[in-house]
Amino acid sequence: MALPQPALIADPMLPRSFTVTERVAETEDTFTIDLEPSDSGPDLSFAPGQFMMMYAYGVGEVPISISGDPSRPDTLTHTIRAVGAVTNALSELGVGDEIGIRGPYGVGWPMGRAEGGDVVVVAGGIGLAPVRPAIRQMLADRDEYRSVSIVYGSRTPDDLLYQDELHEWKARFDLNVQVTVDRDAPSWTGDVGVVTPLINRLDFDPGHTIAIVCGPEIMMRVVAKDLRSRGVPSSDIYVSLERNMKCAVGFCGHCQFGSAFLCKDGPVVPYATVADRLAMEQL
C-alpha cells in the first residue's frame, strides 16, 4: 500500500499553516494538541508511525510523531514533551494559535504484516504517542488481528499518558493491557518495575507475532532481547528510532544511521536491520 505523502508535493520543504483546535495537558511537561488546516486545502491522511515536521514560527522546526486516529485525517494530533527551545515554544500554543506543518514523513508500523497474527505493543514513556495510532487502527479493525497485547511503562503514575484511554483499553476483553511504573506512589496499586517481566505474562505465538516497540533505546534493546528469547524473530520486532532531523526528505543526511536515512527509511525499522548499531555505545 502506498504511504501517505507530504501534502505539498510542489515544495516538500514549505510548511502549511495549521490552527490549534484543542490542547490537553497530559503530564507536567507533556501535552497533546489537535490541529486543523488554516486553509481550505486537503486533509492529511497518514499511516500509524509516521511523523510531521512542526515549525514554531520564528523559533525552529522539530520532528514529532502523529499520535492521533488514522481514521480522522481532518484532525492532526501530536503529543509533545517540552525539552528544549522548539518544544517549549510549542507548549505555549493555545487554541486559535497557528504553526507550520509539513509531512507526513517516513515509514510507519507494519500494520499490513501484523494482520492475521498476534501483536505485542511495548511502549515506554512518551513512546506511547507514536504507537497510539497503531493501537487505534487495530481496535477499529479488531477482527483482523488475533491477540493484541499492550505493555506500557512510565517513570511514575503521574507520567502515564492518555490515562482515560488506558482505562478504556484495560476494560476491554479483547486486549491484554499491562502497565507498570518505575517509582511507586501512595495511590498506585499496579505493577512497579521495568516492562520486561510483564512481557513474560503475555500469551502469544512467537512464530506469528509482530512486535511494535517504542521508547528509550536502552528499553527497546532490552525488550527486543526478551522477545527474541521468547522466540520472536528480530525481523518481526519493529522499533522507532529518533535521530536529529532537518530536511526530513532525504537530502541533508542529518538522520543517517548506517546506510539508512531515518527520515525516509524509518523512523520505524525492523530490529534485525539495526541491532548491531544499536548495541554500540556511541554512534
Ligand X SMILES: Cc1cc2nc3c(=O)[nH]c(=O)nc-3n(C[C@H](O)[C@H](O)[C@H](O)COP(=O)(O)OP(=O)(O)OC[C@H]3O[C@@H](n4cnc5c(N)ncnc54)[C@H](O)[C@@H]3O)c2cc1C
Beta carbon of residue 85, minimum distance to ligand FES (angstroms, whole number): 18
By the rule CB under 6 A, 269 interacts with ligand X = no
Beta carbon of residue 262, minimum distance to ligand X (angstroms, whole number): 7
Q: Choose between 57 and 251: whose C-beta lies nearer to ligand FES.
A: 251
Beta carbon of residue 241, minimum distance to ligand FES (angstroms, whole number): 12
By the rule CB under 6 A, 124 interacts with ligand X = no
Residue from 32, 77, 79, 196 binding ligand X (CB under 6 A): 79
At 151 the three-state DSSP class reads strand
Alpha carbon 22 to its chain centroid, in Å, reads 20
Alpha carbons 144 and 138: distance in angstroms, whole number: 8
The one segment of 6-14, 16-24, 77-85, 203-211 that binds ligand X by CB under 6 A = 77-85
Beta carbon of residue 218, minimum distance to ligand X (angstroms, whole number): 13
DSSP 168: H
By the rule CB under 6 A, 83 interacts with ligand X = yes
By the rule CB under 6 A, 130 interacts with ligand X = yes
Element (H, E) at 213: strand 209-214
Alpha carbon 178 to its chain centroid, in Å, reads 18
Residue from 32, 49, 69, 81 binding ligand X (CB under 6 A): 81
Q: Choose between 85 and 192: whose C-beta lies nearer to ligand X.
A: 85
Residues β-bridged to residue 184: none
Beta carbon of residue 263, minimum distance to ligand FES (angstroms, whole number): 3
* Nearest of 109, 107, 137 to residue 213 by alpha carbon: 109
By the rule CB under 6 A, 267 interacts with ligand X = yes
Beta carbon of residue 132, minimum distance to ligand X (angstroms, whole number): 10
Which residues make Cβ contacts (< 8 Å) with residue 175, sequence separation at least 6?
A: 139, 148, 149, 150, 169
By the rule CB under 6 A, 245 interacts with ligand X = yes
Which residues in this chain contact ligand X in the complex, by CB under 6 A? 51, 60, 62-65, 79-81, 83-87, 126, 129-130, 242-243, 245, 267
